[in-house]
Amino acid sequence: MLLIIGGIGLPLRHQARRAALRGRVSVYGAAAPASEDLEPGANRHRSARIERLEETLELARMDVGPVAFLLYTVLGTLLLAFVATAIFQTGFMVIIALVAGPFIARAVVRRQLGRQRRLFADQLADSIQAVTSAMRTGNSFVGALSQLVEHAPEPTASEFRRVIADERLGVPLDTALQRMVDRMDNNDLKQVGLVTVIQRETGGNGAEALDRVVGNIRARDDIRRLVRTLTAQGRMSQLVLTSLPVIVALALKSLGGSAMDPLFKTGYGHALLAFAGLLIAMGSLWIGRIVKIKV
């Protein structure tokens, strides 16, 4: 099964890279009528969900395209169902595995995306400080960004490199920055975009304004780290309380012999399992809402 997944997935990864590049370039040529004649309706018929999935995978820096990701999800779900069949030997757990597979894949993507956005937020203050220093030496804002991307770590380098590419293709700088705000879900970047607009319209001291923005970002970072530290116990409780019932059930199934058969092989047992799973999911979501504080 793993060999099949790897053999099918490797070619799709290369196809996904080419498709992602064509998709990003086609945004700037969408207004040309000749391209519509050459490829009538090619982009119009693409599913909006597939496009969102492709963008999410790219932002999460997962080296896989949407088609390959869906294929991996299907094969992984089938593998999970096979393991559930071998362990529990009941059709009910196979259904649970088939339902849980896509949700697990979605959780993995969202976790990776959140990690990239947090990493970008942690790097933002130092990045803007480097831009400020470059502007004080006589560079424009775009020129300072060009110097930044040469030495900045990922994902900062890739995101600002995309802003520079958009600006060179004729996109207004504040629009390019707003796109990055939407991609990274970072409100601190709105202040940077506002500074660029003010500098362009009034010719003010952009470096001095960016210094104030850096101060605001660092203060917000301090509060964010404090909140994350104070909610660490709550996040750990969410993980333990969610996984403990599953681990105990698997341990009793493997060690208890036929003692757990009424729970896994009868209708009443299936109903209890479904009710227990619902309670676990509700409790996990409840704790998550409590400890997730957006700064």
Identify the band that residue 41 occupies on the pLDDT scale cut at 50, 70 and 90: low
Q: Is 137's pLDDT higher than 90?
A: no
The single-letter code of the amino acid at 37 is D
Are 75 and 102 contained in the same domain? yes
174 within domain boundaries: yes
Give residue 256's domain range.
232-291
Q: Give the range among 14-18, 73-77, 144-148, 236-240 with minimum mean pLDDT.
A: 14-18
Residue 128, domain CATH: 1.20.81
Helix (H/G/I), strand (E/B), else coil: 147: helix
Question: Mean of the pLDDT values across residues 229-238?
Answer: 92
Cα–Cα distances in angstroms (integers) from residue 150 to residues 54, 113, 132, 265, in the given order: 26, 24, 15, 61
Residue-wise pLDDT tens digits, 163-173: 999 999 998 88
Residue-wise pLDDT tens digits, 94-128: 888 899 999 999 999 999 999 999 999 999 999 99
Are 122 and 197 contained in the same domain? yes
Cβ neighbourhood burial of 190 (10 Å; 0-12, 13-18, 19+): middle
Are 120 and 173 contained in the same domain? yes
237 within domain boundaries: yes
